[in-house]
Structure 1
């Protein structure tokens, strides 16, 4: 599944936490066979109801070469599920008056993402977070250069490049750049190392109590992280968390986390702590999960994008969430504010979506009211 195709998650009858646990229990026996049939080495999940985790479990192995079992402490690459975490920081900076959602980003920086299109002067943080900046493609290449394909705010188009641009602006405001550590990425774009990982840790990850999450690989994380695998089940090289790579991809896909920790983040959106120097206000959280631009519409299922989140609407329910795919990792998170419930599923395989597209709707049916 690519980033433009979304799982359809439909609810069943309202269930209490105890009933939900009972309904979910039969899935536990089905998951090992599902992993075998899809050639997915490992899966970890967290499910919560009424803002309380009711199912936390690992299945399979972290690495086919070692056979180490997945458990609830195993870290996975969150891939594009990193984007809402970065969006949280952006909204906090807006609350602090360092950014405005609707002020062109060129107001805050001298860097020019594009030189030959004046529409760059109209792109705002709101456009970036809702994927309505007009920037295409998702990631540039020599064959498909970065450009603006539509007026900012006109239509939805998923853009990792947009998040890279906003990350660079945020770094100009609150971060530091090391001009001695630079390199070239897609289509020759030059990027220098920053302290993005440390900034996210101090401003978001630690204050929100996400003790098993981060961007910089420390010795503890190195021992606990799952290894990526290709579609044939072969182990792939571990990803990197070098400062220069985080400067390019950190906001868009650099988070390492566990399902339990990411569930903490979802629950913070639904049941927030009081606003302070790190926690968002109720108004900001409401804006974060309010549709900004429509992606697709049907009679019974509409998808829009909020500020960092995908918003799915049925006639009776509203869900927010995100999915993600890095080489060797695929994952999904979904939550419903109305019943304070949600789930996080993370796999260490390029085949992960084959599991997620079967398991996620089943969990949703048993969970959401």
Structure 2
């Protein structure tokens, strides 16, 4: 793939206008069309500094990490180490569900379709108290939708146990190295300080740098738009490294979605595949995902037929509206972006 830096003046102007409207100090965007990828960069890594965002500036990928985790799962699935519908507890006696028979029924399919019944997070994530705490299900696993990072952490611990490798090692060996993601890390490393985007509450209010020293399948990836776009194009859209049947399974509709117990018409436009979301609109079927870490908002969307894709990172809590604006500016006209309409105003 060829990367063109910078974009044409008109396209760069569009990016600048969007960043200013949403109040983002910096942005990275990669748009891939007809096999050619073009890179946008804009603004500052830290408000008030002179440190500009470039092609190698690392952003927090937030929940886009979950798609990397899903691909990692399917690599081990292809090796026969784990099945979609066998309870994870059958493989790994996760201490946090040892007294919860309902949670012991959670499968990989339930995790990947956010139907495990687990909350997004219970407790202060990353602390010893959190690691020692018990998990609770909000409904019978497999019967409803509830977005859950805890489910992905349960899956990561299971994959680590089965493989004999840490989740960090799995991601490095199965994703980062094979897809030449040289600017990406699944855990914090001090070398990231050389070119890191700092998260912001708003345009002028920086946050402290989030240093995730333990891998978390739900949110701990540091990456660039170029690296992530390469993974998206090759690993997810092409299925490189996966069996053909597994790749088809990954991208196929697997479950319905809902905001609550009340079904809405829009829900049918954005069902779940296994680890990614689907969007049905005038342009056909796309996959997508959003991400929200403190100080960062990001997303990707990719059309399954044309392989056109868009990956975007912003370093501010106010960055999610960039999703709609960038899609309208760069993707084919005459389509409804149900992905944004469904996700708008919600964090993950």
Common fold: TM-score over 0.5: yes
CA contact (8 A) 2:58 2:195 kept: yes
Q: How big is the shift at 1:304?
A: 0.8
Q: 2:89 aligns with which of 73, 94, 106?
A: 106
Q: Which moved more, 1:25-34 or 1:306-315?
A: 25-34
| Equivalent of residue 227 in structure 2, options 241, 257, 261 | 261
SS at match of 1:91: helix
Partner of 1:31: 15
Contact 1:65 1:235 survives alignment (8 Å): no
Partner of 1:280: 242
Separation of aligned partners in 2, 1:63 and 1:295: 37
Task: Give the whole-Å Cα distance in 2 for the aligned partners of 1:219 and 1:141.
Answer: 27
Residue 293 of structure 2 is matched in structure 1 by: 326
Paired residue for 1:342?
Answer: 309
Structure 1 residue 219 displacement after superposition: 4.9
Corresponding residue of 1:233: 204
TM-score normalised by L of structure 2 = 0.84
C-alpha deviations, 1:260-308, integer Å up to 9, x for none? 11111111122244xxxxx111211111111111115637961111111
Q: 3-state SS of the aligned residue for 1:46?
A: strand
Which structure features the higher share of strand residues?
A: 1
1:205 aligns to 2:176 (yes or no): yes
| Distance change (3 Å), C-alpha of 1:364 and 1:150 | farther
CA contact (8 A) 2:97 2:104 kept: no
Matches within 5 A, 1:5-16: none
Find the counterpart in structure 2 of residue 365 from structure 1: 332
Structure 1 residues 321 and 67, CA gap change in structure 2 (3 angstroms):
same
Report the Cα distance in structure 2 between the residues aligned to 1:351 and 1:266, rounded to whole angstroms.
Answer: 25
| Equivalent of residue 81 in structure 1, options 49, 53, 64 | 64
Query: 1:157 matched to which residue of 2?
Result: 146
Residue in structure 1 matched with residue 257 of structure 2 by the alignment: 295
Paired position in structure 2 for 1:41: 25
Within 2, Cα distance between the matches of 1:298 and 1:237? 40
**Alignment RMSD, CA only?**
2.6
Contact 1:333 1:345 in 2 (8 A): yes
Contact 1:216 1:242 in 2 (8 A): yes
Compared with structure 1, are the counterparts of its residues 282 and 33 closer, same or farther at alpha carbon in structure 2 (3 Å cutoff)?
A: same
Contact residue 130 and residue 293 of structure 1 kept, 8 A: yes
Task: In structure 2, list runs of 5 or more residues that go unmatched.
Answer: 125-132, 259-263, 336-348
CA contact (8 A) 1:103 1:125 kept: yes
Task: Please identify, of 87-96 and 215-224, the stretch whose mean Cα deviation from structure 2 is larger.
Answer: 215-224
State the TM-score, normalizing by the size of structure 1.
0.79
Deviation at 1:27, TM superposition (A): 4.0
How far apart are the structure 2 equivalents of 1:230 and 1:264?
A: 29
Paired with 1:122 and 1:287, the residues of 2 have a C-alpha distance of 22
1:336 Cα shift? 0.6
Q: Using CA pairs under 8 Å that are at least 6 residues apart, name the structure with larger relative contact order, 1 or 2.
A: 1
